[in-house]
Structures are given as structure tokens and as C-alpha cells.
Chains A and B, each alone.
Chain A
Amino acid sequence: MYKDLENEIWESLLRAAVIENSLNEIKDYPSEQEINRIVLPEHYKLRMRRMLKHYRYRKYAKLSLRYGKKIASVILLIMGFSFTLLLSFAEVRAACESVIIEIYDRYIRYSYTSDLSLENSPIHFGYVPEGYSMVEASFNGIDNYVIYQNAYGDTIELNYKTKKNTFLVDNEHYLIHEIHIGNDKGTFLESLDNRFPNILIWNAENDYFQLKSTLEKEEMLKIAKNLK
């Protein structure tokens, strides 16, 4: 009880002291008349006038906020119901699925599409690195491949097609470089993982080529440039 009284007295004294100190600190303020003679800068006055113009009454501000929230909730609900309703149609589900897959593929795969549709004559290697010999070949006029191998089991695999083709590869394992083989544009996929070969892809006239090997880029380009 006594302690509470002491605290109250201390509080009152402190309040009085703080007020006294504050009054002391503004003792050097000019008089009201002098302060009223101060000319406020135009820009300052303009800003304050603008502030005074833009005011709201609390109840309207609260009302606007409350109705704003309600309207937003209703819009979200309508959108949710509409989407659920649309998903009941197979076409919409398929469209959504394809969009999701397309977005997913864009970030995990590199896609290369040739624009060929015509058949072409067989291809021969004009240059083969030393130690490699042909171990397998298939030629059906549309989808062809030739495989060369050396004594260590390293391979050079050439696929060439005379039809429209799309090539997909996980881009997390490859660095992608644009290259030129003669006048033809192509892509060199430099493997970042020993488990996967380097890949060279390009179109030449009416053929789509894909060369896979563990050889260096320059060596693979040399093979590509010397195909006949």
C-alpha cells in the first residue's frame, strides 16, 4: 500500500519534472507574434494544402475497406466455382494439362524440331577419327543410323532422318551452344555428365542429323562437315 503511494508520488513528481523540463526547453522559442511572421515556403504550403484536401471519415474508410474485402472474396469465390465447373469438361482439362506440361517441359528440357519432310539419299562419312570402324548401320531411306566404335568401346553414332523430327534432352546435363556447319545452323549439346555423350544436331538441305559421341566438339564438327 505504502509502496503504491510512493510510486504514485514518484510518478507525479516525474510528470511535473518532465513538463518543467519541456517548458524550459521551449523557453528560447520566439513569441507567438514572431512565429506568425514566419513565411512558409510555397512548396511546403502546397504540400500541406494537398494533405488537407485528401481526408477521409473513419466510418467511410472502414466501410470502403469492409466492402472491398467482401467484393474481393466474392470475386475469388466466383472464379473458384467457374474454374471447378469448367474442369468438368474434358477439353478444358486436356487444355490445362497441356499448358502445365508445356510449362514444365520448358524448364526441364531442350527441344529441337527439324522442319524436314522429304526423303534423301544415303550419307557416307568423309572423315572418321583414327581407330574407329563401322560396327552397325541401318538404312531404310527415312530413319537411318551408323555406329562407329574404337578398341576402347567409344562410339560415334550418326542418326539422320528425312522426316520432321523433334529431339528432346534433359537440359540439366547439357550446355547448349549454337554452331554452324558450312551454311547450316545447328546446336552442340556439351555433356556435363560422363554418363551422357556430346550431341551435335543440325539440318542440312532435306536431312535432319544427330551425331552422338564422347569426342571433343572440334572433332565432331570435323566429322559433320565431312559427311557426304
Chain B
Amino acid sequence: MLILVFDTPEDRDKFIRIYETYEKTIYYTLCRYNLDSYTKEDLSQDINIILAEHLDDIDLNDYHKTRNYIITITRNYCLNYLRSKSRHPEDFLEDISESQTKLEDILDSLIIKEQLHQLAEEVHKLDDIYKSVLELKYIAGFSNDEIASVLKIKKKTVEMRLYRANLLLRKNLKGQGDV
């Protein structure tokens, strides 16, 4: 049985407050996936343990940021669980050539056009395995080691997914720029 571990009683109190505030948000997020009640309980427990381990990253004063943080972790944990259950091998990506993804041109295009939302759309189109590592890195602020631990994959795989996500985004943006 996994057990919650805290550094201090204050940390425990903080966790209880987080739990009381967001337990239904976690439950609602879990309900969006096709999970049986026991799996929901297991995943919820795992997610709470992850939250207890990252209390320092959680700002209780910023409801929306914390809500987004918790939903991101919950969603990605669920997706990763469902993916591991379906045992789908990681899709092989065709080589993405470096020349197609020159950062300089892409940045110009982005800044000039001020089309940040384009990049967000491209992020949205990414496969879940890439979106997960990006969200855990940029929203949850996890290190590669922590992402590997949450998604139960190797650190090398996390690095490879981040690298490929970057290349894919650059390639897709470059393609749009040409149009």
C-alpha cells in the first residue's frame, strides 16, 4: 500500500486543503475517461500521492493555476494508464529533418504574425504521448526524472519525446509559414 509522506505537519495541512478543494475536480477528470470505479480509486490515490510529493509547486492562493496543474497531472496520468493498458507500441515517427525546422525562420514567423495560438493549436494536434511530457514539463514544472516517474517510463524516453515534440512543432509551423 502506498503511503502519503510529508515533511512537516504544515505540509500535511496544506495537502488536506488541496485535497478538500480539488477532490471533486480530480474525480470529475477521472470520470471523463472510461474507467471502472476501482481504477478511479487507484488512480486517484496515485495522483494524490504525486500531489503530496510536489506540494512546493502548488500555490493555494491561485485557484485557477492550481486547478489547471491538478487537471493536467490527472489527465496525463489517466491517459498514460489507458495507453499502458492498451499496450500500443509507440508510433514510429518518420525522420524529421533538422533542415526543415530552422528555429530562426520559425521565430520570425511567430513573432511577426503574433500567432501564438497557432503554436497552441499545433500543440493540441500532437499525439498524447508528446502532449503529456510537454504539459508535465511546462505546466506542472516537473523535471525529466519526475516526468519519467509519473509516466512510468525511462528518463531517456522522456528526453526523446520532448525532442521529437519540438521537432514536430517546428516542422509543422515551418509548413504553415510556407503556405
Measuring CB to CB, which residues of chain A are less than 8 angstroms from any residue of chain B? Answer: 6-7, 9-10, 13-26, 29-30, 32, 35-36, 38, 40-41, 43-44, 47-48, 51-52, 54-59, 61
Instruction: Kindly provide the distance from the CB of A22 to the nearest chain B CB, expressed in whole angstroms.
Output: 6
Residues of B within 8 A of A24 (CB): 120, 124
Instruction: Kindly provide the distance from the CB of B135 to the nearest chain A CB, expressed in whole angstroms.
Output: 6
Residues of A within 8 A of B116 (CB): 13, 16-17, 20
Whether A40 contacts B12 by the Cβ 8 Å rule is no
Whether A41 contacts B37 by the Cβ 8 Å rule is yes
Whether A9 contacts B5 by the Cβ 8 Å rule is no
Convert B1-45 into 0s and 1s, putting 1 for each residue whose CB lies closer than 8 angstroms to a CB of A: 101111111001000100100011101100000000100110011
B80 lies within 8 A of chain A by Cβ: no
Whether A6 contacts B103 by the Cβ 8 Å rule is yes
Residues of A within 8 A of B67 (CB): 26
Instruction: Kindly provide the distance from the CB of A131 to the nearest chain B CB, expressed in whole angstroms.
Output: 69
Q: Interface majority SS on A: helix, strand, loop or mixed?
A: helix
Instruction: Kindly provide the distance from the CB of B105 to the nearest chain A CB, expressed in whole angstroms.
Output: 11
Contact for B169 among A14, A41, A52, CB less than 8 A: A14
Instruction: Kindly provide the distance from the CB of B98 to the nearest chain A CB, expressed in whole angstroms.
Output: 14
B119 lies within 8 A of chain A by Cβ: yes
Whether B27 contacts A44 by the Cβ 8 Å rule is yes
B88 lies within 8 A of chain A by Cβ: no
Contact for A55 among B6, B124, B166, CB less than 8 A: B6
Contact for B48 among A18, A29, A44, A51, CB less than 8 A: A51
In the complex, the chain B residue whose C-beta lies closest to that of A39 is B24
Residues of B within 8 A of A16 (CB): 116, 119-120
Q: Interface majority SS on B: helix, strand, loop or mixed?
A: helix
Whether A44 contacts B37 by the Cβ 8 Å rule is yes
Q: A6-B104, A20-B120, A38-B28 are in contact. Are A55 and B12 (CB under 8 A)?
A: yes
Q: A14-B119, A59-B7 are in contact. Are A25 and B124 (CB under 8 A)?
A: yes
B144 lies within 8 A of chain A by Cβ: no
A-B contact pairs, 27 of them (CB 8 A): A6-B104, A6-B107, A9-B107, A17-B119, A21-B124, A22-B139, A24-B120, A26-B71, A29-B25, A29-B28, A30-B28, A35-B28, A36-B24, A38-B24, A38-B27, A40-B24, A43-B37, A44-B27, A44-B37, A44-B40, A48-B23, A48-B48, A52-B19, A56-B6, A57-B6, A58-B5, A58-B7
Residues of B within 8 A of A51 (CB): 4, 45, 48
Contact for A23 among B7, B48, B68, CB less than 8 A: B68
Compute how far the CA of A20 lies from the CA of B138 in the bound complex, rounded to whole angstroms. 11
Compute how far the CA of A55 lies from the CA of B8 in the bound complex, rounded to whole angstroms. 11
Residues of B within 8 A of A26 (CB): 67-68, 71
Most chain B beta-carbon neighbours within 10 Å: one of A10, A23, A58, A61: A10
